[in-house]
Each structure stands twice: as C-alpha cells, then as structure tokens.
Amino acid sequence: MASSDSDATTSSEEDPLDMTADEGWHDVDDEESEAIPIVSFFSKDTFATAKAMLDDVKARYSFDFIGLKKQMDLDFYGTVKLVNYIRSEVKQGHQVSTQISKESIEDDKYLQPVLEDDALLFSLDEVDEVPIAPPHGPDTSPRNADDVRKIAELKDEIERLDTQHSEYVKFVTKTLDQQWEQRPAGSFPAPSDKAKDQKDSDDGYFQSYSYNEIHKAMLSDHARTGAYRDFIYENKHLFKDKIVLDVGCGTGILSMFCARAGAAKVIAVDNSDIADKAREIVFDNKLDNVITVLRGKIEDVTLPVPKVDIIVSEWMGYCLLYEAMLDSVIWARDRYLALGGLMVPSHCVLRIAPLSDCDYVESKCGKPKAFWNDVYGFNMKAMIPAEEWNNDEVVIEHLGFKSVPAESVILLELPIATITVEELQFTKPFTVKMAKDVIGLDGWLIWFDTYFLPQPGAQLPDGDIRAESWERNRHPGAAFTTGPAQDTHWKIAIMIIDEPYRQKELKSGQKISGTVQYKKPKNSARSLEVNIEWDAEGTEVKGAGSWVCK
C-alpha cells in the first residue's frame, strides 16, 4: 500500500492510527478500590445506594421506578432490561414516562448494559428486597396456614432473585478479552437460556460488535485501517464535496477519514450498540456537522438523501464472505449509489493454496487424538468425537510461507460495483503446482486480497496480480493482503483435511486440481460452509472435505 509518511494530511497530529499521539489507546485500570457511585437516570448526579437514587428520581422527576417494576410484574432479568431501556431512551434524548409496556423491553439487547460500569445493575438486590417475615409482635405473627405459605413463597422468590442476580453479575463482569477469545464474531455470550435463544442469527451477529475489544483489534490492524486511510487521504479529490455512505460504520473511523478528506456529508449506519459510541466519537472530534450516525440495519433505516456518491464499508469477514455483510453492502449499492458512483473498496480476490506442515497439524489434531489411543493401557478411541478440536471447522490463524508448498492461485475475483448476491454462493475450479517436495498434503489455505481503485468501473490488471506487490508495481489506489505476507486480524482460513487423506507424498512440479464450493448453511444465514474436492494428477493423492466457518 502507498506510504503516507510524506503527506502532511497524515501527520501524527491528525493520524487516527498514530498510537503514540492517541491517549485513548492506553489501557485503563478498571479496578477501583472504592465503590462505584450509582448514576441517576435523568441527570449526572451520583448516589451511594440504589435506594437513594431511586428516591431522588421519584421526588424530583415523579418517576416511581419501584412502583413501575411492581406494576409490570418484572423478574430480575425484566428489571435489568427496564434499567437499560430507560438509560437507552435518556441517552437518545427521549422523554421517559412511567407508561412503559412489557413489549417495549422485550428485546434481549436490553440485557446489555447501556452505561459502562453501571453500578445500579449490581445493586438490584436492593431494589428487590422483600421482608422475609412480617414484623414481630403479638398482632403480626402468622395466624393461619395461608400466611405461612405466603411467607415460604416470599423466601423462595428471594432465593430465585439472588440466583438471577449472581448470574447477571458474572455475565456483566466477564472481561471483553475473554469474550473475544472464547467466542468468534457472530456469537453473543448470554447469561441464561432465554438470552441464548436469539430470534435469528442477526441478533448475535450485531451484539458481537457491541464490544470494545473487537473494535480495538480491527483499529489496531494497520494493514486494514491504514489502507482505507491512505486511499481516502491520497484521493481527496474523489471525496471533496461528495455524499458518502458508510455501511457498518463501527466506531466511525472510515466516516471520519472521509469527513477529513472533504466530504460534504457522511451518513454512517450501524445496527449494533457501537453506533451510540460512534455518535460520541464524531461529536468529540467536532465532525458532527458533517457526519450523521444512524442506528439500524441499512435495509431498514431511511437515509436523509435519495442517492450517495460513494459507499465505503469494511465488510470483509473470515474466508472473506463469513458473516454475509457483503449482502447488505450490495443492497445499499443497488438502492442508494448514484450512477457512476464509487465503491470503496472496489475489488476483492479470493486465493487458495495447499498446506503442508505436519508439526502444525499434529499440534492441532494429532496429539489430542493420540491421547485416547492408550489411556493407562486402555483403548478410549470412542472419546475422540468429544474432543473440542473438530476437523470440520475452519481454523483462523496466521501461517508463514514455510507452510505453503505452492504458489497460491486466484479462486474468485469480486468486483464490488457489479457482483450480485447470487454470485456469493459458487463452485469454482482451481489448479495449483507444487513448488517443492512434501511428505504429505495436510490441508488447504484460503485468504483474500483487497483493492481500492480510484476510478468507478475500473478493472484489476490482467494476470496474477498480488496485493503485496501493488505498491512496487506503481498501480493506482491501494491494496492489502491477508495472506502469509501480512499478519492481519483476519489471519488465514485453514481447512485441515482428515487423516486418511494426509501422509501422501507430492513432488515439485506436480499439479493438484479441484473445486471449491462456498454456500450458506440452511440453519445460519451468516455462517459459511466451504467444500473442497481435489486430485493430484498421476498420484493417489485425492480427497474431499467440508468445513464450516461459524
């Protein structure tokens, strides 16, 4: 990609990727030695206890939270949703009354805290306090079996609320690092079976982008974010006085690049909670006069303009098409992009190469399986299917060139300005030529290159063009690769083949031909199934496999 060191517009003073000048990148110690105060619903006032805060809002704003909770007959999770619903409405500038229905807080998104470190959520046991027994005295002791039964029910209710409260505290206090490491993008950690039961795959997908850690990972990926920045800043003439649509804006970094490049108006759209943060970020950088942030799916929101001149989006997922966000970008293109408009990026290219690295494969699936072959002298192979490692799942890791015994070849070129949703499910042939002798074929690697061409309708050069050599060849625009030449947050998609297909020698010069199929599983529109068949000419090396990216 083009270097921007000599461009005054990308100096450290305004370069959002220059971490040395950005105090926001420093880690913040969340561990406080003293109790966190409870913030009022309707002001910035803080209180030592939940009761004090709720009494204040009742006295000053005539808002009876406890009465509303009782009227709605809410359990613990319902109370959590009510708190986050109120905070969400206030944050958006909406007036909140006590005329709130249960339907208003049905969405499980209200299980996610709106206010960072919201101490009220950890103090709901105060709100739910119920006397275990009537006050002692000669006239208030239980008089009959019915009174005793009611007291027992109250005790059971308190125990249930305590359990729910403990579960929720564990959920909220779980670190973002753990959420990022333990669950792939597209899954949403929830505290209960009810929260896990998402209405559709979109719920979990958008929730996964609510966490700071995933955005930090993407922003820290300089190959990714730097390519967007370089293209936008080095082609300011394309953006000056133009209307830009940012699909899936996240923190708003691409929108702010466009605004700084001279765009007249930028419309940033995102359906996750990060949209609220993006508004704050835009305001803090004094770009709210140019950038408008809309919360919602691009298919559902109404833009303030009929057409846009440029659509910018970072939609790429693992294996390029995992998460199916390109579908939404194509929808936005067909609905909003003006004739002759520009798509940023303009092209992506899927590449495939063989994997030969027995040490890597052994570390992943050989040793766990070997363990069960002999356990204190007993054969426990029946346990192998229960292993956490599963060869039918796509592995996302970075591997160097030493694991790639042949040059990668182009599997599919995606011109973003013209490709259709139907073309995103495909079966394509490929042929690779071994560059060295190997003791066995261990799997397949898929990665993608991304290109930013400055002219609408421009085509990639003919031949086997490569993103890692784009700058050296002095091509227009910018490019980056997610392959072995560059470690990005996308890493490389690894499909390890089953053991019977491995341990077959291949010689330098031998060709392997096959097909790759991309399709969406019927039960998950945002997952991706990859099917590969292959056959090495003149050898017994052949096979087939199916892997899921989820």
Closest Cα partner for 235 from 82, 452, 32?
452
Phi first, then psi: what are they for 511, rounded to 5°? -110, 140
Collect all residues with Cβ–Cβ distance below 8 Å to 395 and sequence separation of at least 6: 364, 493, 494, 495, 496
Catalytic residue flag (residue 314): yes
Helix (H) or strand (E) holding 367: helix 367-373
Tokens 């061409």 sit on residue: 453
On the CB side of 367, how many CA atoms lie within 13 Å of its CA?
7
Catalytic residue flag (residue 34): no
Bridge partner list, 514: 430, 534
Q: Are strands 38-39 and 46-47 parallel, antiparallel or unpaired?
A: antiparallel
Which of 153, 181, 323, 362 does the annotation list as catalytic? 323
Q: Are strands 443-452 and 347-355 parallel, antiparallel or unpaired?
A: antiparallel
Instruction: Report the chain's terminal Cα–Cα distance, integer Å.
Output: 30
Which of 299, 314, 388, 533 does the annotation list as catalytic? 314
Question: How large is the C-alpha radius of gyration of the chain?
Answer: 28
Helix (H) or strand (E) holding 154: helix 145-173
Tokens 């292993």 sit on residue: 387
Collect all residues with Cβ–Cβ distance below 8 Å to 241 and sequence separation of at least 6: 262, 263, 264
Task: List the beta strands (DSSP E) in 374-527.
Answer: 395-397, 409-415, 426-433, 443-452, 478-481, 492-496, 511-519
- Rounded distance between C-alpha atoms, residue 485 and residue 417, angstroms: 27
Active site residues: 314, 323
